Structure 1
């Protein structure tokens, strides 16, 4: 769990995160505190989750040095453009009660090109002001990513290298039944670290014969097989659990390695989303 992935900024991202999607605000302080106690040093929240304040509370109360805990949040998914993103970011920062946010993502690609570029400009300003250390996107398709990358390159050419910023991290629903090879290949080419949310497929595949066979072979749980697959793909998985034993189980994935052949068997070729799929937005 101490392994950290280098970002395009000078910072690093812990290889395993604790996701708090659908964790009730009143329960989040307890669960985040427990995750930190177990050893997680990467907490992933969002405006939409309505638990940013609870996450910040747990981080502050942990007694851990602030720089040792990597905290992520995301913009309101239904608000786009420069002004809305400025407002959303400031609200996220205030709710957290932290001096800075480690990573802030544009949660969706909605709002058209103007909304996407405007939101990016807002994050660049927050980054330059030291309010956020790294910035990125979530749920963007390759066409959205390339559009932003083109704008970054054009801005760098006009105003100087680095002025357009850098997409440090991208976050998507990713698992063997939704591998998103087009997106992950694009990210690899452009130095974008990939985070995988819903890496456990929201529990829908735990009895799948493919997973069960691998779990038996390696003496691990189906969840551990899925998380190990994610790590070996070079992703940063963000599992969620409200039970301490599951938190510990999800972290116990660094004492084994799936063989190349077994990794191959997990290439299902499926495209099965479990929540939503903003990557297909054409605005």
Structure 2
């Protein structure tokens, strides 16, 4: 089984996109811990540039990550032509930081283009639908916000538009808006938390049925983020803690590679972030093997025994 991406998901030069090299999570924390520390900023640039040189052509960033400048520097350092790369960024419709909410998708893209040092963005996503009109300068509801995202696409500053963390109901709200404008204005991606402990079957099925590619953030959650909410301690005894080592030995792949391949087998494109070169290398080395249907079903079954969400917990 292999992931079936729509033909649209190619760089401007015509190359199909790889799994995503993220600049959130760990890198966001590194930058926020000391935003003026040049050593930290250079580390981000170095690892992203390394990822590009190793074969990643899909770079995932976001306004809230504050890593646009580092992504731009990494592209320049890699020496890779812009048209050979795919850049995704995300518009944050609300923020706990007051000065961050006074902007529109148009304003975000104008700023991002400068920070990324590029004249176009491949994919613009709404980062989440969890906002109220009074939290925004323009009193956005979901429909009016999506209409402004469509305007950005019409301007030519972005090639494609999509969403993140959208439920089926959220998608049903914006799809009719797109249909009145034309098929080219439909959302092409829904980036959600996805892993065996959060299979999000209804969202995945609806998205894929409507030609929306599902991208997975947090695909390695079963390896790194299982924490008991009451004690705030790591949970070591969970179903995949036993199964993943067995599958790793069977396929001669790391546990992380098994999880990333699992996402591909579900026709979901994973986004992964790492500061370690060895893991960066391993994450891209998932196209040379398939998981059997029996093992995919087994991961599904074991994962469903332990429902767990690592991100956006207060909204779902």
TM-score range, shorter chain: 0.7 to 0.9
The reply to whether residue 103 of structure 1 matches residue 109 of structure 2 is no
| Contact 1:82/1:118 (<8 A) preserved | no
Aligned to 1:58: 74
| Contact 2:93/2:101 (<8 A) preserved | no
| Number of residue pairs the alignment of both structures matches | 272
Q: Distance in 1 between matches of 2:144 and 2:102?
A: 4
Q: Distance in 1 between matches of 2:144 and 2:78?
A: 36
Kindly report which structure 2 residues correspond to 1:213-224, keeping only aligned pairs within 5 A, or say none: 213-224=246-257
TM superposition shift of 1:105: 0.4
Aligned to 1:203: 224
TM superposition shift of 1:60: 2.5
The reply to whether residue 152 of structure 1 matches residue 173 of structure 2 is no
Aligned to 1:89: 109
| Contact 2:94/2:101 (<8 A) preserved | no
> What's the CA shift string for 1:109-168, capped at 9, x where partnerless?
023584222222222122112110011000111111111113333x24xxxx448x1101
- Of 2, 18, 37, the residue aligned with 2:21 is 18
Q: Distance in 2 between matches of 1:123 and 1:231?
A: 28
Q: Distance in 2 between matches of 1:56 and 1:117?
A: 31
Task: Report SS of the residue matched to 1:266.
Answer: helix
The reply to whether residue 248 of structure 1 matches residue 281 of structure 2 is yes
| Contact 2:113/2:120 (<8 A) preserved | yes
Task: Report SS of the residue matched to 2:123.
Answer: strand
| Contact 1:7/1:193 (<8 A) preserved | no
Kindly report which structure 2 residues correspond to 1:119-138, keeping only aligned pairs within 5 A, or say none: 119-138=145-164
| Contact 1:19/1:45 (<8 A) preserved | yes
Q: Distance in 2 between matches of 1:279 and 1:141?
A: 11
Question: What is the TM-score with the length of structure 1 in the denominator?
Answer: 0.87
Q: Distance in 2 between matches of 1:135 and 1:247?
A: 27
The reply to whether residue 174 of structure 1 matches residue 207 of structure 2 is no
TM superposition shift of 1:85: 2.4
TM superposition shift of 1:35: 0.5
- Of 91, 103, 107, the residue aligned with 1:75 is 91
Question: What is the TM-score with the length of structure 2 in the denominator?
Answer: 0.79
Q: For residues 162 and 220 of structure 1, do their structure 2 counterparts lie closer, same or farther at Cα, with a shift above 3 Å needed? A: closer
